Structure 1
């Protein structure tokens, strides 16, 4: 079993908690109040900018050309996600320029950037993989036909192209990560922060 598969299975409890979360369930059946989704879009756009910076640090710290190219490709994928958010922002009048990050958002971005700055490529991959793998899992688990206004969100993360990005990051984790406490802790912490992010989006604080 690869380290990426092992870590995903070891954190299945948090993946299940995310899928069952009322915020995610509300996206899945189209009943999530629009103002909660609007707040999430603003916070997630802020988060994704830091996610992109973490990928850029991965590029800077890459030990070889193949790793550099892989991180660069992943960075392009973040731009696609940001376009999704910009689309919702334009349609719904969401201000992405003046976002004040919630504590849950800051906790996640600080963790990612600190890990990408200091933790090495293996730890960086462990900290970033849960976001990609979890969203691919949510996209495949939800139905765009039931999601109403949120169908584009579901189809974005259910898309095979996004799955390939998640798998590409997992391949980096398998190549550069090892089964050590620091890697396991980084992966688990990222999964916890994902659930915390949905909590904050649901409560608006």
Structure 2
């Protein structure tokens, strides 16, 4: 059991509340209202801008070239993700400029600033634990929503989003992030510290669930 599995098991309720949220289940079933998905996409675009800052902070916090390269890869993956959002939002006539001008929802602020605070106040391991529910969790969700592969999704209304995270490219990003988390834990984690890291992982997972809920709530406003 690697460190990610240990964290996931120790924060099982928070983790399940995130990966099995109603937003995720509705998206998988193809019944998620378009308004909810559109609102989520715009906020997730703003979210990714702040997460790009977190990966830049990870590079600053790094003391080895290997850690800096890992942060560079994470930052590159985030920038690639933003392009998916731009493409999808263009379908509704939303430009990149309009997305960037949208106000951040409080759920976006709460989650991203929590991660940045973990990075600013803590060490590199704490920052990567705070990032893990997003970076690795989206790969888990993507794979779960495409159990028979991306091609089997056919004309699913959320095919492009699911394909992004179920695809080999993002799955490799998550695999690399998981391996790097293990390497960081081997260097600086004690069993006494593990409980604190579970708290960080659980909080980040709850904030992820709040982010999904924000999307669902937007459909009723």
Q: Smaller-chain TM-score range?
A: over 0.9
In structure 2, the partner of 1:113 is 116
Q: How far apart are 1:200 and its partner, in Å?
A: 1.1
Query: What TM-score does the superposition give when structure 2 sets the normalisation length?
Result: 0.86
Q: After TM superposition, list the pairs within 5 Å mapping 1:37-48 onto structure 2.
A: 37-48=37-48
Which is further off, 3-12 or 83-92?
3-12
Contact 1:123–1:182 (8 Å) recurs in 2: no
Query: What TM-score does the superposition give when structure 1 sets the normalisation length?
Result: 0.93
CA shift digits 1:2-51 (9 cap, x unpaired): 22221123233333333432211221122211111110001000111111
Unaligned runs of 5+ in 1: none
Which is further off, 160-169 or 10-19?
10-19
Unaligned runs of 5+ in 2: none
CA shift digits 1:155-176 (9 cap, x unpaired): 1110122122112222222122
Which of residues 120, 144, 162 in structure 2 aligns to 1:141? Answer: 144
Matched residues, number: 205
Q: Output the CA distance in 1 between the equivalents of 2:83 and 2:213.
A: 24
Q: Output the CA distance in 2 between the equivalents of 1:160 and 1:202.
A: 28
Contact 2:10–2:198 (8 Å) recurs in 1: no
Q: Output the CA distance in 2 between the equivalents of 1:165 and 1:7.
A: 19
Q: Secondary structure at the match of 1:92?
A: coil
Which of residues 105, 128, 132 in structure 1 aligns to 2:131? Answer: 128
Is the radius of gyration larger for structure 1 or structure 2? Answer: 2
Q: Is 2:103 aligned against 1:90?
A: no
Contact 1:147–1:154 (8 Å) recurs in 2: no
Q: How far apart are 1:203 and its partner, in Å?
A: 0.6
Which is further off, 127-136 or 95-104?
95-104
Q: How far apart are 1:146 and its partner, in Å?
A: 6.9
